[in-house]
Every structure is written in structure tokens, then in C-alpha cells.
Chain A
Amino acid sequence: MNARELKELFPILQQDVNGHPLVYLDSAATSQKPRSVIEAVTRYYEHDNANVHRGVHTLGSRATEAYENAREKTAKFIHAASAQEIIFTRGTTTALNLVAGSYARSVCGEGDEIVITPMEHHSNLIPWQQVAKATGATLKYIPLQPDGTIKLEDAENTITSRTKIVSVMYVSNVLGVVNPVKEIAAIAHRNGAVMVVDGAQSTPHRRIDVQDLDCDFYALSGHKMCAPTGIGALFGKKALLERMEPIEFGGEMIDHVDLYDSTWKELPWKFEGGTPIIAGAVGLGAAIDFLTEVGLDQIEAHEHKLAEYAYGRLSEIEDVTIFGPKQDRAGLVTFNLGDVHPHDVATVLDTKGIAIRAGHHCCQPLMRWLNVSSTARASFYLYNTEEDVDRLVDALHQTKEFFGYGIG
């Protein structure tokens, strides 16, 4: 895999920003899109656009085929047993909210427990807070080690026979930690709980096999894996999805409607009310083709190398604090530069054409745990190179100089 050649497949990366060639280091927020994905979406709108599962005309059939084809690809991509187990959603947030709103609310009650971690993204935290409030269940946290990792022993001690749901992110968008979700799933199952995996930051970067992980639910976002925004998916084991009630009603999910009662379509359509995000699904299918062609193992290895390189080079800068474990991290580095506020860091980098993220990364409890109000984050994808890291490090040195060291 050659990142420099891959970069050329992304039109947006071929531009100058503020007078410098763009270095995009914010892929954990959203990834850029390769030409093949942009063209697939354009082609769909230019040739096939129609509503799905309704029209008996040719375009209707083409649109339906394109949409369902994308579902098949998604199922294969994460190794689901069948395409019926893939519900298209707007993204990870909607997927997790579907599990919380439908499954969790029907199984949780007073005395039950929901187990998560303090590193969760707000999308995998607030839905569970809401379920706990609505059902009287208790929200429990697996504690973090000083470097931000989870010890299985702590998971063992937190998950009990009263636990109904365990929900953990596979890869942390702040710490770069890769959580042992397969092992945690086994603990959850031994205690009779279901395992939910937030796959927003893992699906774009590593080979996913939901059957091997043996998770019950797995949520993913398209836009972080080269697909358009507004499309994502929830994987759920068929037996569980069949037991669940929809939380959105109307349009496509309907089977038979009477004046006072109605029935739903079979899986997966019973969860897809309204006209779905058809072009988004087509784009997701094209993104999956693209990523499969590059190879997920190659992508993971490339980013791992890049993160190690970045960790090393950033550590050379005096008074940089890097958050998260040194070893076994995913492709991002979260840091602070002395006393310079992350916003100021991000603005200086922006004037040099370098895009990073500054803020709390939708992880306010984790920021408090780290004892900071916000951090800067450089996140990598298949199109990033060591040269990008070098540009980042040079710009950070200049930032330090500009702000005069020890400001505050």
C-alpha cells in the first residue's frame, strides 16, 4: 500500500489551504471521499434515482437493487451472517439510539444494570443515561487504568448477573485505545447480558468480524470510512432484532395498516421508516469496495506505523503531553502543547494548511478524567504520510515560538 498514490485518489486533498498544500489530520471526525465514491453517488443520481421498494418501473428496480446491494456489501464487510442483520441508519449515533430506545427499554427495569466505560463518546453514553433514567436501571462504569486502557479483571468485577447491557467503543477517538471487546463480550454473555460495540472508530481502520467478536449489536458510520455523511448501519443478531419493536413508524417499514392497528415488515425493513438514504447507501457500497481493494489489514498496519512515528516525533517536542497508551494504539495522537490552548494550536496549524481537531471530542467525562478542558488531536487515515506528520511537528514548533513558551 502506497499512501502517496492513494492520496491522489482523493480530489479534496489536491488543494492548497491558506497558501499551503492541505494536510488533513481530522479523519476521526470525518474521512475524505475518494473519487470512486463521489462518482458512484453522482452516477446514481444521474441514472438510477427513484424511490425504493415501491415503483414497478425500471428506475425503481435499479434504485432498489443498488440499495439492497449496498446492504449485502455491508453485511459481508463486517462478516454478518446475513444481510437481514444490517439496518441502515444515519450513522453510529442513530444506530446506538435504536438499540437503547428499542431493545434496552424493553429489557431493563429497576435493579438491572447497564455497563459502559468513562471513555465513551457522548453517542454511547447519553442514550444509556436516558435508558437508566426511564427504566430505573443503574448505569455502571468499568474503571480506566492510568494510561486509559481497560483491565479485563475490572470488566469481570463490574459486569454482574444483574447486567442487561454492556456497551463499549472498540477504538477510542481520544485515547487511541483498542478495547478488548471480544473478551468483554464473553464476560457479558457469561452474565446473561448483551454486548453492544460502538464501531465508529474501528470499522474504517481494521478488519471487522462481528461473528468472531460475538457481539450482539455493532454500530458504524459511513462518513468515517470514505462514504457520504448521513449513512451508517446497525448490525444486530437476527434473533434479537426480531424480538425488537421499531421506534420509527411510517412509510417503508409498514406491512398492513388498519384504522387502529398495523403490522410491520420483516427484517431489516421494519426498522427503516420513511424514504431511506439511498444515494448514501450506494456511496457506502462504493466505499466498501474501495477499502476492500486497498485491504483493511494494510490500512491498519499503515496507520499503526504512522501513529507510532507521530508519537515518537511529538514526544521530541518539549512539554508536549500525549494522552493514551504508548503501545498498541490506533491511528491518532491526542495531545496538548504546554499551556497553549488547543484552539490556539489548531488556528495556528490551520494558517499553515494543517487541519486538526481541538476540543472535547464529544467525550466530556473523559476530558474530566484526563483533567483537561480540551485537547488537540491529529488523526490519520490511509491517505496520510510521514511527511504529513513532519509538517505537523514543524508547525507545532512554530506554534510554540509564536506563543512564547509558558504562556498562561
Chain B
Amino acid sequence: MELDDLYRRVIMDHYKNPRNRGTLEEGSVTVNLNNPTCGDRIQLQLQLENGKVKQARFTGEGCSISLSSASMMTEAVQGKTLDDALGMADKFSGFMKGESVDFGDYEDIEALSGVSKFPARIKCATLAWNALRKGIEHEKTK
């Protein structure tokens, strides 16, 4: 287990300079999720328009893995259709199980591949993606 595998430059960059950190106006979908075993928490807000994720913003606190994953997720899903975004969440689950996955034009996520070698940290990386899934599924069952 090499630390550099886990904490790649891209991850540390997203951790130090999170993208899409902040809140959206009223009318957006808000999901609050926490990881009860460790105290990490995320608030994800999605502005959905014409079946697409127009904007995604997050706030919260957590470790480098959970916050960088949240930052990447928001970048990756903006502009995607709801189904495509859900598809990415599914891909991400497989990715955490060690599957090699193609994230298309958004390559940053691949930096998280080392997480699959640290089973205790997988739930850190998946927190934001679970929030995304919850937000979209909630919207779809409306």
C-alpha cells in the first residue's frame, strides 16, 4: 500500500481547491447526508432543468478523500442528463470495487482509483455520490 497511490496530486488539488463549493438558490434539490461512523457530512444542492443537472454545489466537512470526491462529482455531473448522472454514480460504485471504468471526458475521477485498495476509505469516497443518487431519485419519484 503506497500512500502516493491514494493521495495523488489531483486529489490533493481538489481538496485544497474544491470546485463548486457553496450553495444554490431556493428551488434546487437539497440532500443532506452524513457518515454516522465518522462524522463526515455533506450538503449537496442540485439545480435540475429540462431533465439535466444544470448546477451542483456542495458544502460540508470531511477528509481529503470525501471532499475531493465531492468536488470531482459536482464537476463531472454538471450538464449531464439525470440518467447519465445516475449512470456515472453506478460506474463509480464499480470503480470503488476495483473495476476499471471509463469516465469519458472527465478524467480526474480516475485519480481516486487508489481508494479501492483502502477498504476503510471507500465510504469516504462514495458519500457525495450517494447524495447525488438520493437527490436524483427523489426528483424522479416526485
Contact = CB atoms under 8 A, between A and B. Distances in A.
* Binding partners A and B: yes
A18 B65 contact: no
A367 B121 contact: no
Nearest to A404: B12
Nearest to B121: A347
Given A344-B64, A360-B38, A351 B124 contact: no
A350 B64 CA distance: 16
Contacts of A350: 1, 120
Interface string A350-372: 11000000111000100100000
A88 to B, nearest CB: 28
B38 A359 contact: yes
Interface in A354-408: 358-360, 364, 367, 373-374, 402-404, 407-408
A341 interface: yes
A343 B64 CA distance: 8
B3 A373 contact: no
A28 to B, nearest CB: 16
A367 B39 contact: yes
A348 interface: yes
Contacts of B120: 347, 350
The residue among B38, B41, B118, B121 with the most chain A CB atoms within 10 A of its own CB is B38
Nearest to B4: A402
Contact of B7 (A364, A402, A408): A402
B39 A408 contact: no
A138 B16 CA distance: 45
Given A341-B62, A408-B16, A347 B118 contact: yes
B62 to A, nearest CB: 7
29 contacts: A18-B1, A341-B63, A342-B63, A343-B38, A343-B40, A343-B62, A343-B124, A344-B7, A344-B63, A344-B64, A344-B65, A347-B120, A347-B121, A350-B1, A350-B120, A351-B2, A351-B3, A360-B38, A360-B39, A364-B39, A373-B62, A402-B3, A402-B7, A403-B7, A403-B64, A404-B12, A407-B12, A407-B64, A408-B16
Given A341-B63, A351-B3, A373-B41, 10 more contacts: A18-B1, A343-B66, A347-B6, A347-B121, A348-B3, A350-B120, A351-B2, A364-B39, A373-B61, A407-B15
